[in-house]
Amino acid sequence: MSNPTYTFKDFKSDQEVRWCPGCGDTAILMAVQKAMAELDHKKEDYAVVSGIGCSSRFPYYMNTYGFHGIHGRAGVLASGVKTANPKLSVWQITGDGDALAIGGNHFIHEIRRNVNVNILLFNNQIYGLTKGQYSPTSLFGQITKTSPYGTVEQPFHPGELVIGSQGKFFARSIDSKVKETTDILIEAEKHIGASVVEILQNCVIYNDGAYDIITSKETRDDNQIWLEHGKPMVFGKDNEKGLVLNGFKLKVVKIGENGIKESDILVHDATESDPSLHLALINMRVKDGFPVAFGVIRKVKSASYEMLVEQQIEEVKAKSKIKTMDDLLHSGSTWLVE
């Protein structure tokens, strides 16, 4: 059957979008709808599942099969859907509270198992739906409704958790960058296995401007580096800056200064299975003098959970004498009463 031609409008549901005006979620919704329209699946083969939180209202705005779950359980809901029917394209919408606090356990195990699900982690560093409490990604010292004197907790960095869970795909984007996010989502969908896309999302009400240092017009060129597989790691207004290795650590250099040539700059290899350099890229922060890395940082081939399950079923079926329930009922020791 030929693939139908869709536009993003085909993926809009008839429900009114109820996120706050200016919320970053709206732009991400557009990116997802555009990505789905470009991908090869039929509309009925998409399943969008979520947990609880602002971002988790997402399925209601999509004209696909959708399941709005319970708090923290998006990962297991998605794993169940995908394992039961591997033909579906499963998209998991989750936030920093849903995935990393109440659902932290499911998040790491879903990645470890490598279930072929596209995990969109909307990271706004705050609890929005419950009105402004700190989240596991809130910055140390951040003042929120439940930390009026500043948090005394260190934040999680989602990418580090992904690497620690043996994750094979990690990408980072920004809510407002619809085109870039769309491209990343397409790549995430095509990757076999758990694909985590962290999207820095601005909560206009409870944590407005959290990412200004990265996204503002004045600073964005110096504080963002968009990585592309096979391309040198350069950034800056005129791509005049780049990354090199200094011992085991990354270092920002200026091309043309101190004898640095363009050929000295690291070339991004997303497919490298050793996660060391990917982890270093993930952990670059503005406060340490680095740009924040965006794009597909890690994409390593590996068999997915549900594929291995299907494969094992086929292998066991081929060998076993038990083909039906009646065979099973009569297997092992039985005796006849006449």
Partner 1 sequence: MAKKIIEVEEVVVKFAGDSGDGMQLTGTQFSNTSALIGDVVSTFPDYPAEIRAPQGTVGGVSGFQLHFGKIVDNPGDYSDVLVAMNPAALKANIRWVKDGGTIIIDTDSFTDKNFEKAGCVQEKLKEIYENYNVIEAPMTSLTKEALADTGLDNKSMARSKNMFALGMVYCLFDRPLTHTEAFFDSKFKSSPDVAEANKKALRHGFNYADTIHAMPSYRVQSADSIEKGTYRNMNGNTATAWGLLAAAEKANLPFFLGSYPITPASEILMEISKRKDLGAKSFQAEDEIGGIVTAIGAGFAGSLAATSTSGPGLALKAEAIGLAVITELPLVIVNVQRGGPSTGLPTKTEQADLFQALYGRNGESPVPVIAASTPSNCFDYAYMASKIALEHMTPVLLLTDGFLANGTEPWKIPSMKDMPAIKTKLKKAGSGEYQPYARDPKTLVREWAIPGTEGYEHRIGGLEKMDVTGTVSYVPENHEVMTYHRQNKVEKLAEVFPELEIEGDKTADLLVISWGSTYGHMTTAVRELNKEGIKVAHAHFYYINPLPKNTEEVFSKFKKHLVCEINLGQFAAYLNTKYPKFNYKKYNKIQGLPFTVVELKQKFKEIIENK
CA dist 265 and 38 (Å) reads: 34
255 near 275, Cβ under 8 Å?
no
Interface pick for partner 1 out of 24, 53, 66, 97 (rule CB under 8 A):
66
Cβ-based nearer residue to partner 1, 264 or 314? 314
Q: What residues numbered 171-190 form the site for partner 1, per CB under 8 A?
A: none
Q: Is the dihedral of CA 3, 189, 176, 13 positive or negative?
A: positive
| CB of 281 closer than 8 Å to CB of 227 | yes
Q: Which stretch binds partner 1 (CB under 8 A): 36-44, 218-226, 249-257, 269-277?
A: 36-44
Q: Does 3 bind partner 1 (CB under 8 A)?
A: no
Give the separation between CA 284 and CA 251, rounded to whole angstroms. 10
Q: Pick from 161, 185, 173: which is nearest to 24 by CA?
A: 173
Tell me how many residues contact partner 1 (CB under 8 A). 60
The residue from 3, 44, 154, 238 that contacts partner 1 (CB under 8 A) is 44
Exposure string for 157-181, b = 16+ CB within 10 A, e = fewer:
bbbebbbebebbbbbbbbbebbebb
Q: Is 81 a residue that touches partner 1 (CB under 8 A)? A: yes
Q: What is the largest CA-CA distance in the chain?
A: 96
Query: In the bound complex, what is the minimum distance in angstroms from residue 32's beta carbon to partner 1?
Result: 14
Other beta carbons less than 10 A from residue 12's beta carbon: 15
Contacts with partner 1, 292-321, as mask; x by CB under 8 A = -----------------x--xx--xx-xx-
Which one of residues 143, 245, 303, 329 is an interface residue with partner 1 (CB under 8 A)?
329
- Enumerate residues 102-121 that contact partner 1 by CB under 8 A: 105-106, 109
**Does residue 193 interact with partner 1 by CB under 8 A?**
no
**Residues within the interface to partner 1 (CB under 8 A):** 13, 15, 42-47, 49-50, 52, 59-60, 62-70, 73, 76-85, 87-88, 105-106, 109, 309, 312-313, 316-317, 319-320, 322-326, 328-330, 332-338
